[in-house]
Structure 1
Amino acid sequence: MYKRILVPIDGSATSNNALREGIKLASEQHSQLRIVHVVDEAVLYSDVEGFMDITALRKALQESSKNLLTKAAETAKKGGVDAETAQLNTAGERIATTITEEAKRWSADLIVMGTHGRSGFDRLLMGSIAEGVARIAPAPVLLIRD
């Protein structure tokens, strides 16, 4: 049913659960699996300038993302699925927009992602990337709760 499954990850336990579900679905349906991680460069343009070396911070963010994607691809391989990976940069956009743009570009049939299930004040402060994706996604979104 789903031929192209996109799984955005962030390294959290909930994200890891979503990855496992995406791998399971891809294996069962012989689907292509694309694992993505968004590097949110907004932190680079906040008040850290003058306190930190922005170039070093950018490099650390990129390296951390690369390691996360490598580990996720290894997890997929152990689950019998060859996954492609991609590091995405926000380029000033919201993370949800970056994910949905990638889903459009890659022609994803399904997006599988974790949601932390925040509510109330926490949700107001932190927002919900998963909710943002679900609102504007070009494909169905399967949300995996923590």
Structure 2
Amino acid sequence: MNGKSTSSAPAVAFKRVIVASEGGAGLVPLTRFALRLAAPDAFVRLTEVVCNPAALCPRLLMSYPDWREAHRAMQHEASTRLTLAARQAAAFVAKPETDLIDLAAMHWQATEALSRSAREWHADLIAVASHPRSHRWACRLNPEELVAMSHCPVLHVPFAHVCTKDAGVTRVLVAVDRSPPSLTALHIAASVVPKGTVFRLVYVLDRPAWLGELLPRDRFGLDGEQTLRQARKLIRGTSKTVELAVVETETLSDDIASTVLHEAKRWQADLLVMSTSSKPKFVHPLPGHVVAQTLRDAECPVLVCPSTIEATANVAHHNQRPLQSASRGAVSASGVL
């Protein structure tokens, strides 16, 4: 890809990319953005999720003919929208595949259905655009659930970001801690982003406010500086510009996620990269809460990498597997009721 890493980990290239957007809107710009991180010869599958009509109008459960008619209309609309998106995407990707996921036939939630489809297709990147949590979308593609279920990295792009501009990737902020998965996420990001990208490696100094005077900043800051130096060595062999920063939670209400998001907004990052293994706060001992909060409130695209080395290694493993897809260039048949 764009330079060699000094790490012993194999180089990463996203070659099988699934793209999905809530309601099917924005599939083409989302695909264009996701391909900025993919290999030039990457296979792309555009995915459309058809919601169960009863989820939109529970009264349809009282009348099967009405439900069937509504379901047929939704399938037709989704198929038409997906075919149109594939035609438009053909301008910058060769023969994009398409897949129609019918939730009424599968009896799954949208997130689970997409995760299963990605695993069966051996995807090494899932790109998804979704509305904020305040939107009560009937078949919402919840990025938090998708990250928890998926076997590969997930690129979450806020829907507002997809609709407003065709953005590039020139400024990448990577949140690192002492965990090996965070360094693996950095390695993946360094492998897939375009040339000329500026990196900013951020370590959050998470010092509880109620222990302010008891835990001196110098002791915490030294740990952060050591972690950043180790992270910088990981991409020292690349041609990328690297900035280092130790940032601190300032108030009692601050946490790691809000601090990272504030730094990403202040620095005007085009992409935020994290691992699902993040150092928890004392008041939030459950692992992964940092990523969940970040996905919930992010205003820029977020690339979340698997928390285990084994899961991350699957990316390079599947890249080398010759796989054939029966649905290439056509809309997959939906399930039968």
- Fold shared by both chains (TM-score > 0.5): yes
Matching residue of 2:178: 11
Could you tell me which amino acid in structure 2 is paired with residue 126 of structure 1?
Answer: L
Q: What secondary structure, in the 3-state scheme, does the structure 2 residue paired with 1:111 have? A: strand
Work out whether residues 103 and 111 of structure 1, in 8 Å CA contact, stay in contact via their aligned partners in 2: yes
Q: Paired residue for 2:47?
A: none
> Is residue 110–residue 142 contact of structure 1 (8 Å, CA) maintained in 2?
yes
The aligned counterpart of 1:76 is 235
The superposition leaves residues 72-119 of structure 1 with CA deviations (integer Å, 9 ceiling, x where unpaired) of: 1222212332310110001121110000000100000111110039xx
Q: Secondary structure at the match of 2:258?
A: helix
Give the match's secondary structure for 1:129.
helix
| Matching residue within 207, 210, 223 for 1:45 | 210
Q: Does the aligned pair in 2 maintain the 1:112–1:143 contact within 8 Å?
A: yes
- Listed as ranges, the matches of 1:79-118 within 5 Å are 79-92=238-251, 93-116=254-277
Identity of aligned residues (%): 29
Structure with the bigger percentage of helix:
1
**Runs (5+) with no aligned partner, structure 1:** 118-123
Q: What root-mean-square deviation, in Å, do the aligned CA atoms of Structure 1 and Structure 2 show?
A: 2.2
**What is the one-letter code of the residue matched to 1:77?**
R
TM-score (norm 2): 0.37
Please list the CA deviations of residues 35-89 of structure 1 after superposition, one character each: whole Å capped at 9, or x if unmatched: 10000011x634x97xxx533xx32211110111122122221233231011000
Asked whether the equivalents of residues 111 and 140 of structure 1 are also in contact (C-alpha less than 8 Å), the reply is yes
Q: Structure 1 residue 134: deviation in Å? A: 1.0
TM-score by length of structure 1 reads 0.80
AA aligned opposite 2:178: G
Counterpart Cα distance in 2 of 1:113 and 1:36: 10
**Structure 1 outlier segments of 4+, above 4 Å:** none
Q: For 1:116, what is the secondary structure of its paired residue?
A: coil
Name the aligned partner's letter for residue 236 of structure 2: K
1:138 to 299, 309, 315: 299
Q: Residue 17 of structure 1: CA displacement?
A: 1.0
Provide the residue aligned with 1:23 in structure 2: 190
Shift of 1:138: 1.7
142 and 45 in structure 1: CA distance in 2 versus 1, 3 angstrom threshold: same
The 3 A distance-change label for structure 1 pair 79 and 9 is same
Greater relative contact order, per chain length (Cα 8 Å cut-off, separation 6+):
1
Alpha-carbon distance between aligned partners in 2 of 1:131 and 1:29, rounded to the nearest angstrom: 29
Letter of the 1:33 partner, please give it.
Answer: F
- Deviation of 1:125 (Å): 4.1
Q: Is the 2:207–2:215 contact (alpha carbons within 8 Å) kept by the matching residues of 1?
A: no
